[in-house]
Amino acid sequence: MWNARSESRVTDRARHERVQRLAIGVAAAANKGRAVLMGTAMSVYIGRVGTPFEVSLVFTVYWFGLMAFSPVAGAIADVTGRRRAVLAGTALLSTVAILPLAAVDGVWAPLAFRGLFAVFAAGFLPVMLAVVSERGGSTSRGQSLGYFNSMQAVGFMGAQFFAGVLLGLVAPWTLYLFVAGVSAVVFVAAMFVSDPSPPSETSATLGEVTSEVRTRLFPARGNREHLRRNGLQSLYVAVLVRNMTVLGISSLLPVYLLSSVGVSEFVMGILLAINPAAQMGFMYLFGRVADGWGRKPL
């Protein structure tokens, strides 16, 4: 009987691990897919009626929303101890924020709802990265994060490919409803994600949450020492420069391929999907290498 119970527990743990891996992978792919598909489609739509500057705002408002509200979501999750609630709640709200795009057109209204979507979508990465990092532990964190990033690349590639397909086949309102459907997948997958080390339940007041958020956004002078340890400040600068170049080019690339190069929407989707397709395998590979060699040497 003892062996039967032991085997049952092992089987349950293995099943739980498979469910968690699948849920995290699906959530990562769908989260990246919804943002990229919306961004590529909106860039093309605004490019047809607006200026290059207005096209660049498609990425600007999205990344500004993530920059400003990711610390807010992370602080709320930490203070309240309800990571999955924050993850699922923001996924649901971001899905609802997409729906008005099916009824508006022009430039500024879509940009406004893109920004509102970003406010809620900002809740995904801080919480999910905390869960993924803790699941990997000290010995397999690179593999865990590598798998997560690899699945994000899957969503990135799929979004770019299907953007090319859908732009040439369906009306804008249909495409945006498709984006909302992909976003709903994030919500469903988030409901299956469990926190590997949930904090003890807290009864934080609104004032405590607000204070923690303010501390995260504007750390006091005495709380900035971590920025100078282990080269973290240099890492932030490197990430800043990397994103300025990669994302700056990406923001205008769909319109450039269609208007200047003259390719079709379908070919545009294929060309844009090449980069994330390469990332799919290399993200996971470099995660395994990082566990063996160390992150900084890599």
What's residue 142's pLDDT? 74
What's residue 295's pLDDT? 60
- State how far the Cα of 175 lies from the Cα of 151, in Å rounded to an integer: 22
- State how far the Cα of 210 lies from the Cα of 264, in Å rounded to an integer: 49
What's residue 10's pLDDT? 62
Residues 105 and 172: beta-carbon distance below 8 Å:
yes
The owner of tokens 């390719």 is 263
Give me the residues of the chain with pLDDT under 50, please.
none
Return the DSSP state at 220.
-
What's residue 199's pLDDT? 61
12-52 pLDDT, tens digit each = 777 878 888 999 999 999 999 999 999 999 999 999 998 98
For the chain, the first-to-last Cα distance in angstroms comes to 49
What's residue 232's pLDDT? 79
What's residue 8's pLDDT? 63
What's residue 296's pLDDT? 59
What's residue 131's pLDDT? 87
Task: Tell me how many degrees the CA angle 101-107-112 measures, rounded to the nearest 5.
Answer: 55
